[in-house]
Amino acid sequence: MSGIVATIIAKYNYWIYICLMMIGLYAMITKRNLIKKIVGMNIFQTAIILFYVSIGAKRGGTIPIIEHAHGGQSHAVEAVHYINPLPHVLMLTAIVVAVATLGVALALAIRIYNRYRTLEEDEILSRIRGS
Amino acid sequence: MIWELDMAILTLVLFCAVGAITVKDLLGAAILFGAYSFMMCLLWAIMGAVDVAFTEASVGAGVSTVFFVAAVFRTTRRTKD
């Protein structure tokens, strides 16, 4: 029993990541306002970024910058002391893609509002069926 | 990684996320989403991902909030849920 509790406590970042992901999915599925759906989509994306950055983190590790890189003395680099920078680089791309999708989604929401004068999904559907 | 600070900011992130999708005002949702993005930025600075942290601070907390506020200004603040 204490082994399970210790595992849950040691991996708390991943549990919070799952909670954030489900919050985003809930907002995308059940909210009827289009802006709320877009906020849910962004929460989903940042939850995935949190997961990847948590993979690369290490206890007691420092940021992945080598000191005296161009100095005279040469020394061996031990990768154990540095946080893994590969997930960070991948997630930089994901942040840029997230803001691009956000811009496109908000532009579409503004166009929908200009045409139907509402942002609620059910009202938009009733106006599409009505006219 | 300081785990007490990590835990405190993770709970703040959860509260900001729940607040951003439950508040009945779209401008409030936009500002709470900006707070959520900034808490995420602090979290990544704690975890040692400084490049992701400053990209998130400028793009996520800055540009995304401006986009949301501009979209709400062009449309409406009213929401039913």
Query: Which residue of A lies nearest to B37 if distances are taken between CA atoms?
Result: A46
CATH code of the domain covering residue A100: 1.10.287.3510
Assigned domain for B50 exists: yes
Q: In the structure encoding, which two tokens stand for residue A115, read together?
A: 């045409």
Q: What is the pLDDT of residue A35?
A: 94
pLDDT digits (tens, 9 = 90+) for A9-47: 778 889 999 999 999 999 999 999 999 999 999 999 999
> How many angstroms separate the CA atoms of A46 and A52, rounded?
10
pTM of the model: 0.89
Number of domains present in the structure of chain B: 1
HSE-CB of A105 using CA atoms within 13 angstroms = 20
Query: Structurally, how many domains does chain A consist of?
Result: 1
Answer yes or no: is A65 within a domain.
no
- A67 within domain boundaries: no
Domain span including residue B12: 3-74
Q: Which residue is closest to A16 within chain B, CA to CA?
A: B10
Contacts of A3 (CB under 8 A, 6+ apart): none
| Closest-CA distance of chain B to residue A91, Å | 7
- Taking an 8 Å cut-off on Cβ atoms, the answer to whether B59 and A99 are in contact is yes
Question: What is the average pLDDT score of chain B?
Answer: 91
In whole angstroms, give the CA distance from residue A24 to residue A45.
Answer: 8
* Complex-level ipTM beyond the 0.85 threshold: yes
The DSSP annotation for chain B comes to --HHHHHHHHHHHHHHHHHHHH-S-HHHHHHHHHHHHHHHHHHHHHTT-HHHHHHIIIIIIIIHHHHHHHHHHHS-S----
Question: Would you say residue B81 lies in a domain?
Answer: no
Q: Does A79 touch chain B (CB under 8 A)?
A: no
Q: What is the share, in percent, of chain B residues with pLDDT greater than 70?
A: 99
**Distance between CA A44 and CA A19 in Å, rounded?**
10
pLDDT in tens, B50-65: 999 999 999 988 999 9
Query: Which parts of chain A register pLDDT below 50?
Result: none
Residue A25 forms contact with B (CB below 8 Å): no
- Domain-embedded: residue A55: yes
Residue A44: domain span: 2-60+81-130
Q: Is A76 inside a domain boundary?
A: no
